[in-house]
Amino acid sequence: MKATNKKRRLWSLNQSGDILAITGIIILTVISIMAIAAPLFSSWGPKQIDFSAFLSAPTANHWFGTDGNGMDVWSRILYGARIDLSIGISSVVIAVLVGSTIGSIAGYFGGWMDAIVMRLTDIVQAFPPFILALTVAAMFGRDIGQLVLAISLVFMPAYIRLMRSEIRALRQRSFIEAAECAGNTHMRILVRHLIPNATRPILVIAPLNCGWAILTLAGLSFLGLGIPIPEAEWGAMISAGAADVIGGRWWTSVFPGLILFISVLGFNLIGEGFLERSGQRS
Amino acid sequence: MKNLSKNGGGISRRQFLQIGTNVGLIMAVAPNSAFADGHKDLVVAIPADLGGWDQDYLAFDLVGLATMKNCYPYMIEYGVKSVGDAHVMDTENIVPVFAESWESDSEGRVWTLRIRKGLRFPSGNALTAHDVKWSKDRAFAAQANVAGIYRMIGLSEASQVEVVDDYTIRITQSQPSSLSSHIQVICLYVFDSEELKKHATSDDPWAKEWATKNPQSGGAYNVTSYKAGQEIVLEANENYPLDQPRVKRVRLQVVPSAANRRLLLEKGEIDIALGLSRRDIDDLRSAPDIKVISSPSNEWVFMPMSATVAPLDNSKVRQALAHAVPYDAIVKNVYNGNARRSTSPVPLDMPGHSASGYPFAYDLDKARQLLSEAGVTDGFEVELAVMAGDVEQERIAVIVGNSFEQIGVSLKISALDPGTLFQRRTEKSIPLQIASGQMWVNDIEYLLATSLTPGGFLNYAGYDNPRVQEIFVELNTLADQSSRAKLFTELQDILADDVPWLVLAQPNFDLPVSARVSNWVQPVDGLFRLYYLET
């Protein structure tokens, strides 16, 4: 009887997408803990050079080998997680906050304000997303703050559109009319009644975007417009190690590629989990 | 799972197209026709097509300049000498090629060029003194590259190049110069003037547009086929005045990807792969049927420091940094030991080189002491510019940065694209950078003119020392070798105090070739000479 209940509970979790989300959260939590406590997991610094081991294959001293600069790949993966996860998450958080605010105002007030906002997002979305990030990064530079700005700009229009359409739909509902009749201010209606009811789709999309943001950063680094050398960043590590693969030195790019894959998978599982749970797959 | 099963475990249409493209690329760069005559062609994979065929206007395009070195008729050329097992160009020995003789007056100011008779361009036009005159008139009138270089030896007007008769040219410099022959090895190439005149217009009197798009021939090799972006076919020039080139036909195949060039060499589809990374070359040392030709080179790698940006404007700070560079680690780990450590801003093997020019060993305590004497006790941050995508420069930057951190100097490494790097070098706005180059003229006077005096186009550091300028001016007219040697020593003593550059290493020239290729001659200017090669 106990076993049957347990089985049912697991089945129930799977149905609601919780297993997916929990798996994703566990993956990212483990990576985050290892990044925060990186010195505990590696005796090498991320920029420390082992002059006796350039491009060394994985050994007991260097678990994931060393790169062309004699730096420990395992250590750089751990420290690189700090940069990749923080840029990935913070750029999406900024895109969500700014995009949702603008989208809510445009959707609520409509009229010329809505028209201007929509045309601006049309212009921004006319550019292929990665080309846009590339252009902004090339224009403003390669500091972490500027890269966050560049990546958040790529994702912002989607949140503006999403929030606008949600707010416009909700605005016709009777509970909003009731709130207006009760004398609530526009600000109060937006903040207390509309926005909390419109955030569900954002919870689904934001984790997926975090994964894409990390991939965008990796892409920028691969093209030399990401984090400057010799900072540890996964995309830059893959880029630097790519030329070594043909010579059989696979570890310099395969391990960073693997962790990048696992992290993006983690974010995607969370997004998928939320999607399943909200029942919006159909 | 849904997405995975969509392809049924086979390859997708996109994958199929990708594979097809790769196979197509391999077939395109190694066509069967290349070996139709029993594998006698020499096939060279080059990383990029030429920027144009007009040598007067081509700069910073090594593949283009190298191709032209083999196709244009050059009046004189360096000889060849052996150094150990290697053959290198002998800059002390000037050999007439299309010229019959090349002589100066006793002062070294007036030079007479006698051209061999009976020479013809592929068009059938005779090669005469009038072609030489027209070619140099063109250079002066259009202020082409040659005009700029000629100023160093006192040639600034077309009237200084005169036709004496159909096969004799007199060149009168405003001053004698010990560089004259060296400069003329670079500059005395000739256009088929009758052919170019046919394509001249009132707007383009020197046929610049036509010359840019159409291959020029008449040197050791003629260009017999040119497919832009794909292939250049060269065939030995039967009218070449010296012995015939040993390799009769050479195909220069454009293969942009270094990985593909390496792959093609490993598969035996090509004979020479240019532009491979040092790591690829090291891997190929043990590959079957491939050998790596290696010889000492005059390429040198250095780090110019701006003398106008604080705190680098303080010579003690520059000396401190010179003590903080791990030179041996760079030679060992960046160049895998295939380099010589530089010991002066004057490159090794350049006449007049003295190790007194750079008396700095890796000594962090000494570096800290010098920083303290300079009043820089809290360290500082400085930008270090490298060429984006240049793996060796990035590795040097990382190793140097790691060492500088230990004396409190933090490097902010900027990987700049070539355009930005060129612009900032012109503006002299880079505090610290990594640069490399080869002196086409193996002479200190040329080094000073290009790199260590104001106005020198390679003077990235904006170095300006009045005494060094005086030495340069004295050298311009000084032919006596012992007096020149004294000035060379004084110059290097000054440079040792001023430290305009951190001088790092002179990497060897390494070229992976198929086992059948031999008799490579290492050029002083980095421009390969196909003429000497054998298969």
CA distance linking residue B494 with residue B344, whole number of Å: 11
What is the predicted pLDDT for the residue at A5? 60
Backbone φ and ψ for A225, nearest 5 degrees, come out as -115, 15
Q: What is the Cβ-side half-sphere exposure of residue A119, based on CA atoms within 13 angstroms?
A: 6
The number of domains in chain A is 1
What is the predicted pLDDT for the residue at B147? 85
Per-residue pLDDT of A81-117, as tens digits, reads 999 999 999 999 999 999 999 999 999 998 899 999 9
CA distance linking residue B36 with residue B381, whole number of Å: 60
Strand spans (E) along B269-337 = 272-273, 290-295, 300-304
Cβ atoms of residues B358 and B495 within 8 Å: yes
Q: What is the Cβ-side half-sphere exposure of residue A135, based on CA atoms within 13 angstroms?
A: 9
What is the predicted pLDDT for the residue at A279? 65
CA distance linking residue B20 with residue B375, whole number of Å: 64
B115 in helix, strand or coil? Answer: strand
Task: Please say whether the dihedral angle defined by the alpha carbons of residues B396, B398, B399 and B404, taken in this order, is positive or negative.
Answer: positive
Long-range contacts of B125-130 (CB under 8 A, 24+ apart): B125/B192, B125/B193, B125/B194, B125/B195, B127/B73, B127/B98, B127/B190, B127/B192, B127/B218, B128/B166, B128/B167, B129/B163, B129/B164, B129/B165, B129/B166, B129/B167, B129/B168, B129/B169, B130/B163, B130/B166, B130/B193
List the domain range (segments joined by +) for residue A79.
Answer: 2-281
On whether any CB of chain B is under 8 Å from the CB of A180, the answer is: no
What is the predicted pLDDT for the residue at B259? 87
CA distance linking residue B173 with residue B476, whole number of Å: 12
Window 238-257 of A, Cβ < 8 Å to B = 240, 243-244, 246-248
Answer whether A49 sits within 8 Å of B414, measured CB to CB. Answer: no
H-helix segments, B285-432: 315-323, 327-329, 364-373, 391-405, 418-427
- What is the β-pairing status of strands B501-507 and B339-341? antiparallel
CA distance linking residue A38 with residue A84, whole number of Å: 14
Cβ atoms of residues A17 and A277 within 8 Å: yes
Q: Using 50, 70 and 90 to split pLDDT, how confident is the model at A3?
A: low
Q: B397 CA to chain A: closest CA distance, Å?
A: 9
What is the predicted pLDDT for the residue at A8? 57
- A contact test, residue of B394, B400, B406 with most A CBs within 10 A: B394
CA distance linking residue A256 with residue A253, whole number of Å: 6
What is the predicted pLDDT for the residue at B295? 82
Cβ atoms of residues A153 and A99 within 8 Å: no
CA distance linking residue A160 with residue A120, whole number of Å: 10
Q: What is the CATH number of the domain that holds A9?
A: 1.10.3720.10
Return the percentage of chain A with pLDDT > 90, whole number.
52
For residue A224, list chain B residues with Cβ-Cβ distance below 8 A. 388-389, 415
Residue with structure tokens 């691969």?
Answer: A222
CA-wise closest residue to A76 among A41, A52, A25: A41
Quick one: angle between helices A73-109 and A18-36, nearest 10?
130
Q: A244 CA to chain B: closest CA distance, Å?
A: 8
Answer whether A247 sits within 8 Å of B279, measured CB to CB. Answer: yes
For residue B279, list chain A residues with Cβ-Cβ distance below 8 A. 68, 243-244, 247
On whether any CB of chain A is under 8 Å from the CB of B287, the answer is: no
Q: Using 50, 70 and 90 to split pLDDT, how confident is the model at A4?
A: low
Q: DSSP label at B235?
A: E
Specify the pTM.
0.79
CA-wise closest residue to A129 among A145, A159, A151: A151
What is the predicted pLDDT for the residue at B24? 44
Instruction: Give the rounded distance of the alpha carbon of A114 from its chain centre.
Output: 28
Per-residue pLDDT of A157-182, as tens digits, reads 999 999 999 999 998 888 888 888 88
Query: Which of B422 and A9 is assigned the larger pLDDT?
Result: B422
On whether any CB of chain A is under 8 Å from the CB of B26, the answer is: no
CA-wise closest residue to B432 among B367, B522, B501, B497: B501
B323 in helix, strand or coil? Answer: helix
Please tell me which of the candidates A69, A228, A244 has its beta carbon nearest to residue B279: A244
What is the predicted pLDDT for the residue at B235? 94
Q: What is the Cβ-side half-sphere exposure of residue A27, based on CA atoms within 13 angstroms?
A: 21
Q: DSSP label at B32?
A: G
CA distance linking residue A176 with residue A191, whole number of Å: 12
CA distance linking residue B359 with residue B343, whole number of Å: 7
Strand spans (E) along chain A = none
CA-wise closest residue to B273 among B255, B246, B298: B255
What is the predicted pLDDT for the residue at B10? 41
Please tell me which of the candidates A71, A229, A240 has its beta carbon nearest to residue B397: A229
Q: A128 CA to chain B: closest CA distance, Å?
A: 20
Q: A245 CA to chain B: closest CA distance, Å?
A: 10
Cβ atoms of residues B64 and B50 within 8 Å: yes
Q: A141 CA to chain B: closest CA distance, Å?
A: 10
Window 360-419 of B, Cβ < 8 Å to A = 388-389, 391, 394-395, 397-399, 401-402, 412-415
Please tell me which of the candidates B389, B398, B412 has its beta carbon nearest to residue A69: B398
On whether any CB of chain B is under 8 Å from the CB of A183, the answer is: no
Answer whether B283 sits within 8 Å of A49, measured CB to CB. Answer: no
Q: CA angle, corner B292, sides to B286 and B293, nearest 5?
A: 155
Strand spans (E) along B146-304 = 161-165, 168-172, 221-227, 231-236, 249-254, 272-273, 290-295, 300-304
CA distance linking residue B203 with residue A169, whole number of Å: 67
Cβ atoms of residues B83 and B295 within 8 Å: yes
What is the predicted pLDDT for the residue at A15? 60
CA distance linking residue B153 with residue B150, whole number of Å: 6
Residue with structure tokens 């060379």?
Answer: B488
Q: Using 50, 70 and 90 to split pLDDT, how confident is the model at A281?
A: very low
The structure tokens listed for B58 are: 């081509």
- B contact test, residue of A69, A245, A268 with most B CBs within 10 A: A69
The structure tokens listed for B405 are: 């951190």
For residue A48, list chain B residues with Cβ-Cβ distance below 8 A. 402
For residue B283, list chain A residues with Cβ-Cβ distance below 8 A. 247-248
**Average of per-residue pLDDT values in chain A:** 88
Identify the structural domains of chain B with CATH numbers, from first to last: 13-107+196-262+511-532 (3.40.190), 300-507 (3.10.105.10)
Per-residue pLDDT of A227-269, as tens digits, reads 888 999 998 899 888 878 878 899 999 999 999 999 999 999 9
Q: A223 CA to chain B: closest CA distance, Å?
A: 9
CA-wise closest residue to A67 among A128, B445, A58: A58
On whether any CB of chain A is under 8 Å from the CB of B259, the answer is: yes
Residue B86: Cβ-neighbour burial (10 angstroms; 0-12, 13-18, 19+): middle
- Give DSSP secondary structure letters for B127-161: --HHHHHHHHHHHHHTT-HHHHHHGGGT--SGGGE
Per-residue pLDDT of A46-61, as tens digits, reads 999 998 998 999 999 9
Backbone φ and ψ for B182, nearest 5 degrees, come out as -60, -45
Question: Least CA distance to A230: which residue of chain B?
Answer: B398
Other beta carbons less than 10 A from residue B287's beta carbon: 14
Per-residue pLDDT of B425-459, as tens digits, reads 888 889 999 999 888 888 899 999 889 999 888 89
What is the predicted pLDDT for the residue at B430? 93
The reply to whether omega before A201 is within 30° of 0 (cis) is no
ipTM for the whole complex: 0.75
Residue A46: Cβ-neighbour burial (10 angstroms; 0-12, 13-18, 19+): buried
On whether any CB of chain B is under 8 Å from the CB of A261, the answer is: no
Q: DSSP label at B275?
A: S
The pLDDT tens digits along chain B (535 residues) read: 333 333 333 444 444 444 444 444 444 444 434 444 444 789 999 998 888 899 888 777 888 889 999 999 999 999 999 887 788 888 889 999 999 999 999 888 999 999 999 999 999 999 999 999 999 999 998 777 888 889 888 899 999 999 999 999 999 999 888 889 999 999 999 999 999 999 999 999 999 999 999 998 999 999 999 999 899 999 999 989 999 998 999 999 999 988 899 999 999 999 999 989 888 898 899 899 999 988 888 889 999 999 888 899 999 999 999 999 999 999 999 998 999 999 999 999 888 999 999 999 999 999 999 999 999 988 999 999 998 878 899 999 999 999 999 999 999 998 888 878 888 888 888 999 999 988 888 889 999 988 999 988 889 988 999 999 999 999 887 878 889 899 999 999 999 999 999 999 999 988 999 999 988 888 888 888 999 998 8
